């Protein structure tokens, strides 16, 4: 039992689950008298601007409270997706902000056993209802982006999504489909292509869309990185943005305002989400009176990459 209580890794999953269930039944919580003034941030990858926005939001909020920030990248570092838990348990931080596509049951149980609170930031799946989470209103963002294009006269719209396994991708696509449906427009499923939120993928899939006859007059990208790839593909076809092709992204990362032309995108309040995560961890003892599953609003930011359809 002591190994489970202290978050040790050398415990079989079945044993850990049984012991943790017994501890939960007794309302047991390990004392945290030696908590370190740290916030742990665990991300799958650091090599993109989305991750940078998360780190900026966390660091600025932590600085106000005189807290340190420890950042861990998981992708390509270890075959064990929960390798980071050992160091986290050793540090015993105030809490952990997790930006992961999959939080393993073992990792969650080990954090819970040590009474280390964690918040899932923009979870890709449907988190355990007992877990704290913060996400953006992806459905409304997808709806607003496509409504904007429809208002400009576009009806032949290509879509490059994120991975279909991720809830944010599903919600953004559902918002797009809802916007089309409210105008009574049929959707050509062959115009919807599944991407992976990378610039390379955005370029490759945009090339396929732009080879079609008739080609789309607008493309909705799953995020700003994919939109950057769409720009590259458009240049390959000597298409002018927005005269020949309108493009919409999602996220509003720093670089989107400096693209040529500046990108119309749906702003996901990444820094605010990160700051809210820090605040929730600091007020964890009050969680019974706090909202622990937050959805923050998205906002359409209209810039220079969208214009009336050339078919109008």
* pLDDT for residue 48 is more than 50: yes
Measured CA to CA, the distance from residue 167 to residue 136 in angstroms comes to 11
Measured CA to CA, the distance from residue 246 to residue 248 in angstroms comes to 7
Helix (H) or strand (E) holding 146, with range, is: helix 138-151
If you average pLDDT over residues 97-118, what whole number do you get?
87
User: What are the residue boundaries of the structural domains of the chain, listed by start?
Assistant: 2-116, 138-269
From 94, 80, 77, select the one nearest 41 (Cα to Cα): 94
Q: So what's the pLDDT on residue 6?
A: 47
Helix (H) or strand (E) holding 218, with range, is: strand 218-221
Measured CA to CA, the distance from residue 191 to residue 209 in angstroms comes to 7
Question: 3-class DSSP state for residue 103?
Answer: coil
Query: What are the φ/ψ torsions at residue 244 (nearest 5 degrees)?
Result: -100, -25
Least confident of 17-21, 64-68, 103-107, 293-297: 17-21
Residue 13 burial (C-beta neighbours within 10 Å; 0-12, 13-18, 19+): exposed
Q: So what's the pLDDT on residue 190?
A: 94
Q: HSE (CB half, 13 Å, CA atoms) of 61?
A: 23
Least confident of 15-29, 58-72, 118-132, 256-270: 15-29
Evaluate whether 95 touches 116 at the Cβ level (below 8 Å): yes
If you average pLDDT over residues 91-110, what whole number do you get?
87
SS3 labels along 243-310: CCCEEEEEECCHHHHHCCCCCEEEECCHHHHHHHHHHHHHCHHHHHHCCCEEEECCEEECCCCCCCCC
The CATH number of 138-269 is 3.40.50.2300
Q: So what's the pLDDT on residue 298?
A: 96
Regarding beta strands 264-267 and 299-301, do their DSSP bridges make them parallel or antiparallel, or are they unpaired? antiparallel
Same fold, 2-116 and 138-269: yes
Give 3-state DSSP helix, strand, coil % of the chain, rounded to 5: 40, 20, 40
Crossing angle, helix 105-113 and helix 13-25, to 10 degrees? 40
Provide the greatest CA pair distance for the chain.
71
From 72, 85, 78, select the one nearest 11 (Cα to Cα): 85
Residue burial 191-214, b: 16+ Cβ < 10 Å; e: rest: bbbbbbbbbebbbbbbbebbeeee
* Predicted TM-score (pTM) above 0.75: yes
Residue burial 158-186, b: 16+ Cβ < 10 Å; e: rest: bbbbbbeebbbbbbbbebbbebbeeeeee
Measured CA to CA, the distance from residue 1 to residue 19 in angstroms comes to 7
- pLDDT tens column, 222-272: 999 999 999 999 999 999 999 999 999 999 988 999 999 999 999 999 999
Angstrom CA distances, 94 to 97, 116, 278, stand at: 10, 7, 9
The CATH number of 2-116 is 3.40.50
Question: 3-class DSSP state for residue 62?
Answer: helix
């Amino acid at each position: 039992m002591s190994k489970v209580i202290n978050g040790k890794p050398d415990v079989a999953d079945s044993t850990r689950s049984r012991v943790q269930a017994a501890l939960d039944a007794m309302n047991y919580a390990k004392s945290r008298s030696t908590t370190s003034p740290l916030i742990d941030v665990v991300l799958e990858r650091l090599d993109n601007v989305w991750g940078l926005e998360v780190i900026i939001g966390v660091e600025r909020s932590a600085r106000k409270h005189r807290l340190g920030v420890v950042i861990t990248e998981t992708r390509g570092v270890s075959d064990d997706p929960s390798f980071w838990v050992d160091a986290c348990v050793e540090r015993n931080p105030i809490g952990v902000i997790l930006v992961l596509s999959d939080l393993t049951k073992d990792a969650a149980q080990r954090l819970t056993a040590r009474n280390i609170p964690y918040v899932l930031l923009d979870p890709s799946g449907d988190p355990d209802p007992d877990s704290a989470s913060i996400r953006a209103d992806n459905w409304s963002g997808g709806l607003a982006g496509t409504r904007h294009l429809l208002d400009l006269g576009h009806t032949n719209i290509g879509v490059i999504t994120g991975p279909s396994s991720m809830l944010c991708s599903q919600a953004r696509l559902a918002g797009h489909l809802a916007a089309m449906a409210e105008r009574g427009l049929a959707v050509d499923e062959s115009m919807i292509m599944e991407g992976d939120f990378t610039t390379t993928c955005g370029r490759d899939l945009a090339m396929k869309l732009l080879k079609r006859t008739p080609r789309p007059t607008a493309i909705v990208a799953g995020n700003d990185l994919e939109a950057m790839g769409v720009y590259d593909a458009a240049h390959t076809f000597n298409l002018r943005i927005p005269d020949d092709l309108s493009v919409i992204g999602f996220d509003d990362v720093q670089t989107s305002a400096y693209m040529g032309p500046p990108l119309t995108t749906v702003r996901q309040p990444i820094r605010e989400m990160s700051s809210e995560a820090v605040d929730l961890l600091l007020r964890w003892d009050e969680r019974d009176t706090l909202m622990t599953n937050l959805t923050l609003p998205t906002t359409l930011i209209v810039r220079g990459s969208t214009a009336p359809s050339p078919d109008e």
